[in-house]
Each structure stands twice: as C-alpha cells, then as structure tokens.
Amino acid sequence: MTAGVPELLPQDVGTPIPVSGSVPADTYTYDYIVVGGGTAGCVLASRLSEDPTVSVLLIEQGPVADTWSSRVPLLSGNMFARDSLAARWWSLPLRNADNRFLEIIRGEALGGTSRINGMLYTRGSPGDYNQWKALGNDGWAYEDLESYFMKSENARSHPEAQLRGHDGMWQNQQFTDVPYKTTAYVDHAIELLGVERVPDLNNPDAPTACMGIVDIVQDSEYHRHSTYRAFLPPTLTRTRQDRLKICPNSIVSQVDLARVPGEERIRATGVYFEATNARKAGFRYLARARKEVVLCAGAIGSPQILMMRAQAHLLEKGIPVIKDMPAVGSHLSDHMGVPVAFEVPLSDSLHHLEESPLKAVMELARYIITGGGAFSRPFQNSSTFVPSRLLDDTGSISNKDPHHLDASLPENRPDIELMHIAHDCGDYDVSGKGVYTMLVTLIRPKSEGSVRLATSNPRARPDVDLGFLSDPADYAPLRKGVRFALRIGEEVRKQGYPLSELKVPDGTSDEDVDRFIRANLRTCFHYTSTCRMGHETHGERPSVVDAELKVHGVRDLRVCDTSVFPEIISSHIMAPAVMVAEKCADMMKGMPTV
C-alpha cells in the first residue's frame, strides 16, 4: 500500500480465466470499467464515482507511487530519474529525417503522463476546437468546451479572470518573477519583433500571435498537481472504496466483445487483464461491465488495446479480428521541435545547478523551506505562439490586422510555438556552458504517423512510427520558425546581452536550414488522434469514435484520452485531455452538455 489509496489485486476484482461455472456472473461486474488511470482516466473515474449508486473499476498498468520527488516540479519532470516511472522505448526510424530513432515516453503510474510531464497548463486556441466542430463533431466547438476547462481547474494566479475556473479540483499557478536574466532580454526582443506579451496565455481573447508565462499545474504547497493528486487523492478514494475499486500494476490485454442478439452490432461486455509483474504472466482475469467500458490508456495504449480486435492486417499475427477499423492506430500526430541553442552566462541557465552541487543543494533547501527557487518550476517557463504566415521576410510581424489575430478562427491558429528553456534540449556536449534554447515547435503538423502492434503479446511495446516530415509541407513553417529564433538572438545581442549562437544551421539557405531541421528534430511527446473522433469508419476521413466518444459500431465502448482528438491542437495537450474527460463523464451520466 502506498499513500493510502486502497489498492486491489487482479484476483480481488476479476474472475480467473477460464471462468469457473461456480462463480456467480455478477460477482466481478461493475457499472463502468475505466482502463488506464492516467491523465484522463483519473478524472473520469473520479467524476463517475461521484454517484453513490454506481460501481467503477479502474485498472492501471503502473503503480500508485506518490513519492516526494514525484511532487517536486524540477525533479519530477526528469524522465531519467530512477523513480520517474516514465516508460521509454525507441520509435521506428524517422524515414524522412536521417533514419534517426527518437524515444517514445509516457508515464506509467496512477496519474499517467501528468505525473512526469512538463506541468504546463495550456488550453489551446479557441480556433482549435472550432476546427474540431468544423470537421463535423457537434458539441466540440470552443463555446461548448469552455465550461469543462473551467470546471476542472482552480487557476490560483488569475483570481479576476472570468473565463478561468476557480473552484475546480485541479490547481494551477503562474510564476511572474523572471528566473534568469536571459528571459527579460528574450521577451523584450520578441516584443520588438511585433509579438504581444499577454498576462494569461489561456485567455481565449488573446491574439493568435502572443507571448507570455505559462501556467503550471501546481498546488498551494508548490507540489506538482498530477490528475491523480487532484482527482483521486487518498482522502477521496478511501471514502469511496465501496464503489470505486482501484487495481494498479495490471495490464488490460483485450476488450471482451459479444454480438448483440438480433443486431449487426457487437457490444463490449468487459475486459481481460493480468498483473504487470512478469512472474504472474499466464494468470488472466475477466471483469465485466454492466453499462460501459472506457479506454483511457492514452494515444498509444488505447489503439494498442483496440487493435487486438480491430484491424484486418492483424490476421497475419494470429489475432482474430472482430471488426475492421482502419483508423485505429493511424493518423498519429505529434508536435515536432527543433532546438535552436544559444550560449549564455552559466549563471543564467539551469546548467549552473549541474555544475555546482553546492548550489543545487542550496536551491533544494530553499524549495523545502520557502517553496520557491529553481526547484519549484519545471524546465520551461514561457512560450511564444505565432502563425508563421504572419512572419515577414525580416522575421517580424508587421501585419497587425485584428482579423488575422482573432484566435476564434481556425485559419488563424498559430502553427509555431517557441518554447523558452534555460537549458539545452539536444544531445550535444555542453559541459561548463550555460545554454538557452528556443525549441522551435511545429504545432500544426501535416505529417502523420501510426501505432501498430509489434506482436500479439499485450506486454510488448507497439511500433510507433512518428512519421515526422512525411509531408514536405511541414518544412516551410519550421524554416520560418528557425529563422525567427535566430532573429530573436540577433535582437538580444543588440541589447548588449552576451548571447552567442551555439547550435544553429551551418548557413542561411533553405537547404542549410532543412539539413539542420532533419538532424535535430525531436518529439514533444504530444501524441494524439490515433482513435480520432469523426463521422465515418471508412471513406475520406475515417475515424474511430463519434462525437459522444463511442466506438463506431460497438455498443457500450468509449475512448476518452488524447487519442480521440480529431486533430492535434496548437498547444500542449494535458489540459485538453482533462477537458475531454470532464465532458465524457457528463455524457456518460446523461447530463445535458453545455
């Protein structure tokens, strides 16, 4: 037992396979089964179990692990720490980027990726969701979703903001003090280049070209506020343990499907699962759902589970296919980032903590005593968003026509984000140097990849093809973004600040910049759209779930995580994952959605 969450074993919540006739059919039956206790899954399980008359089973692959370091912002975002519970494996080679391999990363613990990520809370542009609606998804325009963003959050730093939530379970806040000198020079340079600085990047009325400090999910004690800590804390799970059963360290292999008598359709009746511990392999269990099964296993896990029954090509792997759905695992989208790195004085970057253990210890002590300092924040503090078409040849925004900056219009969505990071983001040797990185990120990529089963073993990692640069149209905005970052560097130097180019393209031609992009491209781990929402299962825009997140043609089965995004949004995706779960809970409860 860890930190008081009542944890159950597979044999406590499921019937062993083969099912014995002596076990009454109702014994291991729940109203709802939620698969995956990650970012969205914790929210959904929490909301569904508000009703004292329903029973909910939550099955999570990873442990409940509420360690101290998992709450310290700077430490908990370190995926390489031994207790980080970040699962890591290699992608397939990037065919269009020098056949490089990139690491696929997700959180595997209660809280999922919200337990290990960069903590940035961003809703995205209203135009992102108006685009979802334009693709045929009724009920998913920004005006339909705003109340769900507000319901979940407690925005501690924006008490006056009417369109931010202040009573929700999930806390976020913003640090307005500038942590390193570089930031002030960089921000000033960006303003000189025509981008407006805004106090709240989550204000839906902010222009599409804007820059500001990003809110982070953090509670009043300056701890990371993962969705586990916010929505399923021990105080809540203990009072609901009669109706909310939490089974960690268990992996769901398949959804149990049965034909609906007299109908073409099939229905989800339960899930098969087993302990994650390899020594328990071979002991399988079945839990049944009276009402619905909901997959919240993330944009890699949910298609992996569905593919066990739903793709014709899997016949070759000996997997019997119940329903052919070509969109399952297809259309993987991710933000791709190109780090443009500058050298700055060591004291102005996070590297000074690595170079001086004494300083690191003092900073940690400062965090423990005051809650402030370098350890109280994640790696990234601020961001700049720009639609690249507004950047002119000089690398600045001269077109200030309000129509072009109206964030509610899908065509105005920004396609470039510059993540401002006082650390290096590449694989090169920077020992002894201070580094400031502009991570130039393509946030509306046209390239798509896929998730495919490598074997029929549910414990095996699936093959992830990120598909970066498979659409050559992605070069143009990335090139503009890289040149914009270099231009910002120039403006900073003009102010007299000692910043020099460290990792930048060899020359100024398109070929030079493209070579740099291919050699340095990295994932932002923002996987979406592998079970995307839409009208059809086949045809021009094949999809997996409808606007109620129900899997097409299968009764009583929904998907609720970032895999359902009809298109990736032009910002970080954790807050939208929570919004999806809030809306899904209301739809399942039959409550009128706004």
Ligand X SMILES: Cc1cc2nc3c(=O)[nH]c(=O)nc-3n(C[C@H](O)[C@H](O)[C@H](O)COP(=O)(O)OP(=O)(O)OC[C@H]3O[C@@H](n4cnc5c(N)ncnc54)[C@H](O)[C@@H]3O)c2cc1C
**Binding region for ligand X (CB under 6 A):** 35-41, 59-62, 79, 105-108, 112-114, 116-120, 122, 251-252, 296-299, 301, 305, 525-526, 561-562, 572-575, 577
Q: Write out the binding residues for FAD.
A: 113, 252
Q: CA–CA separation, 294 vs 315, rounded Å? A: 25
CA 336 to chain centre: 14
Read off the DSSP letter of residue 100.
B
Q: What is the 3-state secondary structure (H, E, C) of 486-551?
A: HHHHHHHHHCCCCCEEEECCCCCCHHHHHHHHHHHCEECCCCECCCCECCECCCCCECCECCCCEE
Residue 25 in tokens: 């059919």
Q: Which is nearer to ligand X, 499 or 545 (CB)?
A: 545
Q: Which is nearer to ligand X, 195 or 299 (CB)?
A: 299
Burial of 362: CB neighbours in 10 Å, binned 0-12, 13-18, 19+: middle
Residue 530 in tokens: 């592998």
What are φ and ψ of residue 3, in 5° steps? 55, 25
CA count, 13 A, side-chain hemisphere, 447: 26
540 contact partners, CB below 8 Å, separation of at least 6:
none
Q: Which is nearer to ligand X, 334 or 343 (CB)?
A: 334
Q: Which is nearer to ligand X, 40 or 513 (CB)?
A: 40
Q: Which is nearer to ligand X, 208 or 254 (CB)?
A: 254
Q: Is residue 18 reached through a cis peptide bond, with omega within 30 degrees of 0 on the bond before it?
A: yes
What are φ and ψ of residue 66, in 5° steps? -95, 65
Active-site choice (335, 352, 420, 526): 526
Q: CA–CA separation, 390 vs 510, rounded Å? A: 19
Q: Which is nearer to ligand X, 35 or 325 (CB)?
A: 35
Query: Does residue 225 carry a catalytic annotation?
Result: no
Q: Which is nearer to ligand X, 86 or 492 (CB)?
A: 86
Query: Does residue 166 carry a catalytic annotation?
Result: no
Residue 108 Cβ vs ligand X, minimum distance, rounded to whole Å: 4
Q: Write out the binding residues.
A: 113, 252
Q: Which residue has the tokens 């008598």?
A: 261
Q: Which is nearer to ligand X, 48 or 486 (CB)?
A: 48
Nearest to 74 by CA among 250, 216, 206: 216
Q: CA–CA separation, 486 vs 471, rounded Å? A: 25
Q: State whether residue 247 is helix, strand or coil.
A: strand
Q: CA–CA separation, 198 vs 178, rounded Å? A: 15
Q: CA–CA separation, 320 vs 589, rounded Å? A: 33
Q: CA–CA separation, 507 vs 502, rounded Å? A: 13
Residue 124 Cβ vs ligand X, minimum distance, rounded to whole Å: 9
Residue 472 Cβ vs ligand X, minimum distance, rounded to whole Å: 26
Residue nearest to ligand X (CB): 38
Residue 299 Cβ vs ligand X, minimum distance, rounded to whole Å: 6
Q: What is the 3-state secondary structure (H, E, C) of 492-507?
A: HHHCCCCCEEEECCCC
Residue 122 Cβ vs ligand X, minimum distance, rounded to whole Å: 6
Dihedral sign for Cα 421, 422, 425, 426, please: positive
Catalytic residues: 526, 572
